[in-house]
Amino acid sequence: MSFENDKYSVDKDPYEWCLRKYKRLKAIYPQMNIQMRNKKLVTHMPGELENTVKCRCNQNFTLDEIANTLRDEFKDKPSGRVEEVAKKKDSCHNCGSTNHYSKNCPKAKRTVYAIEKFPEEESPTEDSESDSMGDAIREKSDD
């Protein structure tokens, strides 16, 4: 079993699991120091466990601290398993269907807004804009 595929389960002894993962890391990365191996070991845990270990241990945690945290985390659970939250099905907010999102809803109302043109008398021309800019520049230079 490879390092990436060996996930922690509560059926396993936390000390044995940590030691096995640590030895694999040592074989894969012999130049890596102890603190880096421990951090890599923690980052390969499932997200909830990773956060738990990081919160409970100081910055330079040891292999024993990691194993103790895992043991403490699971000893009070009745089944010994991490409770999984039921994943909510994503659904469309427009029609309630679960096979698409609201931005792709075929039943959504498509609103088209009409854009009116300015009448020719009211639309500004380039000459009037340049004259007004010229007046503003002239007024500023007169001051």
Q: Tens of pLDDT along 90-122? A: 778 778 788 777 777 877 766 666 677 766 655
Domain that holds residue 56: 14-75
- Which one of 57, 75, 93 terminates a domain? 75
Number of compact structural domains in the chain: 2
Model pTM score: 0.44
Asked whether residue 88 is domain-assigned, the answer is no
CA atoms within 13 A on the CB side of 106: 4
Asked whether residue 97 is domain-assigned, the answer is no
Residue 23 has pLDDT above 80, yes or no: yes
Asked whether residue 33 is domain-assigned, the answer is yes
Provide mean pLDDT across the span 56-83. 71
| Percent helix, percent strand, percent coil in the chain, to nearest 5 | 50, 0, 50
The confidence band for 43, taking pLDDT boundaries of 50, 70 and 90, is confident
Asked whether residue 50 is domain-assigned, the answer is yes
